[in-house]
Amino acid sequence: MEPTIEHRKYRRHHVNFQGVYSASSVQVREAIVLDLSLGGCRVASTTPMPPDTTIQLQIRPQQVAPIYISSAIVRWASGYAFGVQFSELLEHESKALTRLLWSLPASGRDSSSNPHSEG
């Protein structure tokens, strides 16, 4: 069996931010936002979401204004975690997300930002 190769467009940053999300079938639910990138994130919640569900997501990092993603598509789900791809992000929200990701300490970024780490 060949190793799995990830083909991600954006670098993931390991974070642990509060968030909330909703969908047409789900009222607002609290969540934890993990593995954040410019293109999407992993979300953990007590309400599982099936793939292909469109959600709205608000990321609430500490000491920074919330970032609102008006449309994100669930691409995979495993237990109470699911991965979303941002499909609609207003320009000012995209800029705020970019600033947030660049403000993270090196330990908040994945190993690809450290040339000395294995991976």
Q: Find the CATH number of the domain harbouring 88.
A: 2.40.10.220
Q: How far is CA 100 from CA 23, 24, 84, 85, 97, in A?
A: 25, 28, 18, 18, 5
* Whether 69 contacts 52, CB under 8 Å: no
Would you say residue 85 lies in a domain?
yes
Q: Spell out, as residue ranges, where the chain has pLDDT lower than 50.
A: 4-6, 109-119
Would you say residue 65 lies in a domain?
yes
Q: What is the pLDDT of residue 105?
A: 76
C-alpha count within 13 angstroms, C-beta hemisphere, residue 110: 11
Would you say residue 24 lies in a domain?
yes
If one counts the domains in the chain, the total is 1
Q: What is the pLDDT of residue 34?
A: 94
Would you say residue 7 lies in a domain?
no
Q: What is the pLDDT of residue 7?
A: 54
Q: What is the pLDDT of residue 38?
A: 93
Would you say residue 49 lies in a domain?
yes
Would you say residue 50 lies in a domain?
yes
Q: Give the residue numbers spanning the domain of 85.
A: 17-104
DSSP reduced 3-state for 49: coil
pTM over 0.85: no
Would you say residue 56 lies in a domain?
yes
Would you say residue 2 lies in a domain?
no
Contacts of range 86-93, beta carbons closer than 8 Å, 24 or more positions apart: 86/38, 86/39, 86/40, 87/54, 93/67, 93/68, 93/69
Q: What is the pLDDT of residue 116?
A: 35
